[in-house]
Amino acid sequence: MTEHEVLHVFCGPDGGHGNALGVVRDGAAVPEERDRQAIARELGFSETVFVDDPGRGAIDIYTPGLRLPFAGHPCVGTAWLLGVDRLVTAAGVVGVRHDGAFTRIAAPAAWAPPRTLRRHATPAEVDGLAVPPPGEWIYAWAWQDEAAGTVRARAFPGRGDGIDEDEATGAAAILLTAELGRALTITQGRGSQLVTGITPDGLIEVGGRVRRAG
């Protein structure tokens, strides 16, 4: 097994939950894309990051089945781990802000992979959803308190790669924030928490708490 670290990204207020992220710090030791893909498949996390240059914050992101130019929870987790003020992804440069317990990244909403944002009437309706069949990436959400900007969400990648439900999904939170045009606090999965906002220059910011596994 390739040497790697495991982080939990977008943890809840009590430090629990969060989406597991594999981080291979020595990305240079695995230069070939096919080998990186095989490692990501073997680890089986929703995403695995290869750090190509820790000083520059250059990273490469993979799901178990494909390479991603940009994704939210890998960027937040790796930014926290490296302590950098920016990341360099295949999509472009991602801004980073360390804000107390929260690590936040900022990127254009257009960088987020497409998802179906499906609104439901109540949080209880979202909680009661069964995992849909593969074929469509669905972000199911409902207002907990619209005035306060709090949302209940669940994410179903639909890729058929073993990740039936994503515990915390930064890219989908970016898309929802862009669509609604406002800052949000999102409770996703079993109890993960994501916070979002819109920067003065129109980028979407998403952040949360990060901890090492174990």
Equal fold, 5-96 vs 111-211: yes
Q: What is the mean pLDDT of the chain?
A: 97
- Give the whole-angstrom CA distance, residue 171 versus residue 158: 15
* pTM as predicted: 0.96
Q: What pLDDT is stored for residue 30 in this prediction?
A: 97
Query: How confident is the model over 73-94, as pLDDT tens digits?
Result: 999 999 999 999 999 999 999 9
**pLDDT band, very low/low/confident/very high, at 1 (cuts 50, 70, 90):** low
Return the domain boundaries, the chain.
5-96, 111-211
Q: Sort strands 138-145 and 150-156 into parallel, antiparallel or unpaired.
A: antiparallel
Cα 194–Cα 75–Cα 12 angle in degrees, nearest 5: 25
Query: How confident is the model over 148-176, as pLDDT tens digits?
Result: 999 999 999 999 899 999 999 999 999 99
Which CATH architecture best describes the domain 111-211?
Roll (3.10)
The top-level CATH class assigned to 5-96 is alpha beta
* Residue environment code for 40-57, b if the CB has 16+ CB neighbours within 10 A, otherwise e: beebebbbbbbbbebeeb
